[in-house]
Structures are given as C-alpha cells and as structure tokens.
Amino acid sequence: MRMRQGIVAREMTEEQIRALADEAGKQADRRLRETGFHCSESVVRAVGDVLGLELPREVLMITTGFRGGGSGYFGQCGAMSGGMMTINLLFGRVRSEESNVCAGELTKLYCQRFERAMGDTNCHILRDHYHITSDNDSCGTVYYTGAKLAVEVILTGHRDCANCGGFDGAVGRWAESEALASR
C-alpha cells in the first residue's frame, strides 16, 4: 500500500478532518448509486481514496462478502464492517508479537460511534429503516455514515488512544509489517 498524498493527522485542523470525512461519506454514497459497489466495498474504497491510499487489489477484493451483513445474511452492517477494515488495515498487526491495543481501541470507538449515529449495527434493522425512509430505496445514509466515521476515527485516533501513533505513522507501520509478513 502506498500513499498518493501526504496527510499528517496531527497537523490537520478539525475543519480539515470534517471536510475529508464528509467527502468520504459522499464518495461512499455516490459509489452505491453510480457504480453498483455495495456497502463494505464502497466504504473501504471511499476511505482509501480520501486518505490518498493506493489499496492493493486483494484489499479491495476482500471487502465483497461483507455486503448485506454477510452477503445477504443481514448480520453486522457491511458499511460498519468496511470502516472496521480500514481502521485495521492502518492500525492492525501482522505478527502476534505486535500490539493489538491501538487497532482494538479504535475499532471499538468506531463501532460505538456508528451505533450511536445509526441507532443499531445490524444490517437487517438498518436496511429496513433506511430503505423505507430514503428517497431512492437505498442505504446511502448508512454508507455515508460508515465512511465518514471511519475517516474521523483514523484521523483523530492519536487523540483517543494513547497507544496510537496517528495516521501518518500507521502507514509506515503497515509497510513495515507487510515486509515482515513476506519473510
């Protein structure tokens, strides 16, 4: 994974973070309408785009089955799963000796914020509500919220978790872990 642009979370203002988060939400919703990507796919792609990440093909592929709460199983919301995937892509670990505290704390924080914003984390419940109340019979609002919150958590993680180095450090850690895993 490479970055196309230099985003340093610690140097960003709240307004800049909100603007990037809003753009990610809009991109996730737009992908649903214009390209047919589902919730988990749209969220991961939108978050990657606004953060300037060049995501490997395998990362994009792995998001497919999470749509519809598990390919139509209607369990955990796929948009929420997509946000969790992006957080763990940047703050997760490859080796058991590495700490999982940052990824765990940020994932939990993301899930709490998602549930607070949406009222639930279950696809079936969210789908029933948002398909009925939307103007286009879709979960666009859920896509938007999943991507928006993921960017917010990624860019403010260094404030919320003492064990997190921040987004700018996470990409370097990801590359380092990738090199170790390939050995």
Structure confidence at residue 162 (pLDDT) = 84
CA atoms of 54 and 42, how far apart (whole Å):
15
Q: Identify the CA nearest to 74 among candidates 138, 121, 143.
A: 121
Structure confidence at residue 145 (pLDDT) = 97
How many structural domains comprise the chain? 1
Q: What is the pTM of this model?
A: 0.88
Residue 135 pLDDT level (bands cut at 50, 70, 90) = confident
pLDDT tens-place string over residues 64-105: 999 888 887 788 999 999 999 999 999 999 999 999 999 999
- Is-contact 33 137, C-beta < 8 A? no
Average pLDDT over residues 125-152: 89
Q: Is the pLDDT of residue 63 over 90?
A: yes
CA atoms of 143 and 80, how far apart (whole Å):
8
Q: Which helix (H) or strand (E) holds 2?
A: strand 2-3
Burial class for 97, CB neighbours closer than 10 Å (0-12, 13-18, 19+): exposed
CA atoms of 28 and 174, how far apart (whole Å):
24
Please provide the average confidence, as pLDDT, over all residues in the chain.
86
Structure confidence at residue 75 (pLDDT) = 85
Structure confidence at residue 160 (pLDDT) = 87
Structure confidence at residue 7 (pLDDT) = 77
pLDDT tens-place string over residues 148-175: 999 999 999 989 888 887 777 445 444 4
Instruction: State the residue range of the domain holding 174.
Output: 2-181
Percent over 90 (pLDDT), the chain: 61
